[in-house]
Amino acid sequence: MRGEANSVSVVLKKPHKSARKPKGDGHMRRGEILAAAEKIFIAEGYAGATIRKIADAVGVSSTALYMHFRDKDQILMEISNDAIERLLALNTEIAAQPVDPVAGVRLMLEAYMTFALENPNTYQLVFCSTGDHISQDKIADTLALGDRCFEKFSEPVHAIAAQGRLRSGTAHAAAEVLWSGCHGLVSLLITKPSRGWSDPDELMKVMLDGLLYGLVTD
Amino acid sequence: MRGEANSVSVVLKKPHKSARKPKGDGHMRRGEILAAAEKIFIAEGYAGATIRKIADAVGVSSTALYMHFRDKDQILMEISNDAIERLLALNTEIAAQPVDPVAGVRLMLEAYMTFALENPNTYQLVFCSTGDHISQDKIADTLALGDRCFEKFSEPVHAIAAQGRLRSGTAHAAAEVLWSGCHGLVSLLITKPSRGWSDPDELMKVMLDGLLYGLVTD
DNA sequence: GCGGCTGGGTGATTCCCGTTTAGTGTCAGG
DNA sequence: CCTGACACTAAACGGGAATCACCCAGCCGC
């Protein structure tokens, strides 16, 4: 009904001059899309990174993105995976250091919170999304990476428990509480930046000091 | 804001037989919409509670909602306000009790987390939304109510600080850490329900014990 | 040469969403 | 019996994600 333009279509342009993009053979176009999508996602978040905007940035029709990716979530997932893998590598590196497990826990949580504040949109996608507007199973790989990060983090907590230094509760519960406490802090800093927060570094320190002192004995 | 129904509340009944819905005189239709929207919002969350679904449930055209509300966010905001006002009332009640401020803090945080788990969608709307798909200024009233809850909660924390019982940091920072720690726990329980969590009650207890022991001296 | 396959690319289309516009039917008051 | 206000509606708009039927260049075996 809106497309009756063809009846009068004097505009029949000959596709003779190919104004379209040269074919990005194979995986090169894929990389272009990811790069453009990452820029937009970082700048404007999940809702702001629309298929059309990404396609425009690459200089290609929106449909073309479906040549390389199943859907929008897959694009964002691949971007986020790169970021989370960095976090996992950080945790693995810390876990390999022969330090006191409490120090290891602290280092990991500090790295975690720093990561969150430096990659707020990725962080929200992985750790704050509710499956409401983002289907969880579509970004299952990313969520699985998040799980592996938590498991890596659990190791030193279990080591603390094995030393009998847990004031109360199981190692599992302690790990969850430590993680979720830090998660709460950074997620609020990210989602409510306009509130009159104290200095983030001080908040992180108070959170870590408080939780570790409260949960672990010397 | 909700109380303009007092103008006269004419109880006109019109037993008419038109195909369309009888006119919901004045503010009666408004209440119907809110009730239907609340049911859908609780069941399906922000994205699931679409204008059209709400209108269908009421038995009215989607456009009719705009007679009574500025936009979708205003509907959800009024629903959430009712819930958050209950939380604020709880906090006010606790603050009025002549108990030790540490006990008051614990009671408030317990009430807060229980509220979150019982009203997950409202909780996310107020405390997890990022302004990405929900414009923060549209639900400004709701956010302001959330702020007042935090201020109410800050009172006993400042009392603790005034007693010199804070292990470190300012009262402001301590209040933010206590709040955000509990927020992190319930927000993860809500958004990642499928993870293998420990018992929520135990987690809440470990969080409160840990933070209070870690931050406050006897 | 040449037909046909393949795969990146496209515009049109579909189906939602929130919201707007231009009305329509029904009343109360003059 | 008007008239105007009001509750309400159908239709449409613009913008999202995703799908469809194509198009066309390059390359293959012949």
Query: Who wins on pLDDT, B3 or B38?
Result: B38
Q: How far is the CA of B63 from the C1' of D3 (A)?
A: 26
Q: Whole-angstrom Cα distance, residue B133 to residue A113?
A: 24
Look at residue A20 in the predicted model and tell me its pLDDT. 62
Look at residue A18 in the predicted model and tell me its pLDDT. 44
Look at residue B159 in the predicted model and tell me its pLDDT. 97
Average pLDDT score, chain B: 88
Which residue among A124, A128, A177 places its CB closest to the CB of B206? Answer: A177
Question: Which residues 144-163 of chain A have a CB within 8 Å of chain B?
Answer: 147
Look at residue B141 in the predicted model and tell me its pLDDT. 87
% of chain B surpassing 90 pLDDT: 77
Contacts of B133 in chain A (CB under 8 A): 47, 133
Site from B50, B180, B190, B209 to mutate, A interface, most A CB atoms within 10 angstroms: B180
Q: Determine whether the interchain pair A45/B132 forms a contact, defined as Cβ–Cβ distance below 8 Å.
A: yes
Contacts of B215 in chain A (CB under 8 A): 206, 210, 214
Q: Determine whether the interchain pair A168/B214 forms a contact, defined as Cβ–Cβ distance below 8 Å.
A: no
CB A88 within 8 A of CB A105: no
Which residue among A45, A187, A198 places its CB closest to the CB of B184? Answer: A187
Look at residue B130 in the predicted model and tell me its pLDDT. 81
CB B123 within 8 A of CB B190: yes
Both tokens of A77, joined, read 């997932």
Residue count of chain A: 218
Q: CB contact, 8 Å: B22 with chain A?
A: no
Closest-CA distance of chain A to residue B63, Å: 23
Residue B198 has pLDDT above 70, yes or no: yes
Instruction: Name the DSSP letter for residue A119.
Output: S
Using 50 as the pLDDT threshold, list the residues of chain A that sit under it. Answer: 1-18
Contacts of B214 in chain A (CB under 8 A): 209-215
Q: Does the C-beta of B53 come within 7 A of strand C?
A: yes
pLDDT tens string B33-80: 999 999 999 999 999 999 999 999 999 999 999 999 999 999 999 999
Q: Whole-angstrom Cα distance, residue A42 to residue A45?
A: 6
Q: Determine whether the interchain pair A181/B211 forms a contact, defined as Cβ–Cβ distance below 8 Å.
A: yes
- Please choose, from the candidates B148, B144, B140, the residue with its C-alpha nearest in 3D space to the C-alpha of residue B91: B148
Distances (CA, A) of A206 to A116, B101, B211: 17, 20, 10
Q: How far is the CA of A27 from the C1' of C9 (A)?
A: 15
Q: Nearest residue of A to residue B124 by CA position?
A: A130
Q: CB contact, 8 Å: A48 with chain B?
A: yes
pLDDT tens string B59-68: 999 999 999 9
The owner of tokens 């499928």 is B194
Q: How far is the CA of A23 from the C1' of D25 (A)?
A: 9
Look at residue A194 in the predicted model and tell me its pLDDT. 87
- Give strand ranges (E) for A39-168: none
Closest residue (CA) to C1' of nucleotide C19 is B71
Q: CB contact, 8 Å: B218 with chain A?
A: no
pLDDT tens string B105-120: 999 999 999 999 999 9
Per the DSSP assignment, residues forming a β-bridge with A166 are A216
Which residue among A48, A185, A213 places its CB closest to the CB of B180? Answer: A185
CB A184 within 8 A of CB B185: yes
Q: Nearest residue of A to residue B199 by CA position?
A: A173
Q: Determine whether the interchain pair A177/B207 forms a contact, defined as Cβ–Cβ distance below 8 Å.
A: yes
